[in-house]
Amino acid sequence: MDRERISITVRKSLLRKLDGTVDGAKIRNRSHAIEYYLSQALSPRVSRAVILAGGPGTKMRPLTYEVPKALIPVHGKPLLTYTIELLKRYHIRNIVISIGHLGEKIREHFGNGEAYGVRITYVNQEGVVGTGGALAAVDGLVGRETFLMIHGDLLVDIDLDDLISFHQESDFLASIALTSAPDISAYGAVQVQRNRVVAFSEKPVQGKFDSQLINAGVYIMEPQIFDFIPETRPCSLEKDVFAGLAKDKQLGGYVFAGDWHDVSTPEAYEQALKRWQIDQKAD
């Protein structure tokens, strides 16, 4: 990305506060701190999100015969509640939820979102459409602005402002949040060079893929993403869209270290119940 050297004069007290934010990781140095906080202040805010919550949850049966996966309880609250609270915490209050299997129960529980301080619109998935098809169905509901997409079966502690800043500073068509896993064979593994995704491998054999990074299911996307979704159904974002974007150097990879659980199997659900201890109170 092009940069230009400038000289500025800053109050010493403000400079001390700025230097205090430098941690060598998220904020690398004084110059990066200035750029980061200018970007935070001046970049357009992301105010819309898409939640994919239409999957049948076959691996969570028999529980999902009667309860959609998004409503499975974790510490007394439905799984999807944590996601909505996360979005609200970062001032993302216009939400589209893609529903399918037992979707009316999700609609009945959350309604129009008013009780949660957000505004929710629903889109029904018809049949097996895949993640790409589910996203394509919301075209026209997210406007022509940058938006966030997240899977509805996650518990995740992530700084969305930092993810958004990463995306906006890098000029990618889409950016993927990445986390690490000791066993990548159950996930979509990802290789990155610097801040760019260069390869995917869906559920690779352990030890056969040179990366421990996995797709965390949280994305920032430009509205042009809809132009890259094939019309065939089912359609996979990972295989049918992201692979091409990676080849064209248009896909960013944002690595984060926060708590993350993919509640898609009984074993993962058990781990989430044991380990998800983060206070997720809405603002």
pLDDT score for 277: 65
Note whether 248 and 202 are same-domain residues. Answer: yes
Higher pLDDT, residue 206 or 195? 195
Residue range 44-51: mean pLDDT, rounded: 87
Mean pLDDT for the chain?
A: 86
Note whether 21 and 139 are same-domain residues. Answer: no
Residue range 182-198: mean pLDDT, rounded: 82
**Domain count of the fold of the chain:** 2
Q: Which neighbouring-strand residues pair with 123? A: 98
Note whether 37 and 66 are same-domain residues. Answer: no
pLDDT score for 282: 40
Higher pLDDT, residue 21 or 196? 196
- Checking if the pLDDT of 24 tops 80, the result is no
- Checking if the pLDDT of 90 tops 90, the result is yes
pLDDT score for 203: 66
| CATH code, domain with 142 | 3.90.550.10
Q: Tell me the DSSP string of the chain.
A: -----------HHHHHHHHHT--SSSS-SHHHHHHHHHHHHHSPPP-EEEEEE----GGGTTGGGTS-GGG-EETTEEHHHHHHHHHHHTT--EEEEEE-TTHHHHHHHHTTSGGGTSEEEEEE--S--HHHHHHHTTTTTSTTS-EEEEETTEEE---HHHHHHHHHHHT-SEEEEEEE-S-GGGSEEEEEETTEEEEEEESPPTTSSS--EEEEEEEEE-GGGGGGS-SSSS--IIIIIIHHHHHTT-EEEEE--S-EEE--SHHHHHHHHHH--------
In a domain, 81, yes or no: yes
The residue range of the domain holding 18 is: 12-42
Residue range 250-268: mean pLDDT, rounded: 90
Note whether 28 and 47 are same-domain residues. Answer: no
pLDDT score for 156: 94
Residue range 103-114: mean pLDDT, rounded: 95
The answer to whether the predicted template modeling score (pTM) of the entire model surpasses 0.85 is: no
Note whether 131 and 241 are same-domain residues. Answer: yes
Note whether 25 and 159 are same-domain residues. Answer: no
Note whether 122 and 21 are same-domain residues. Answer: no
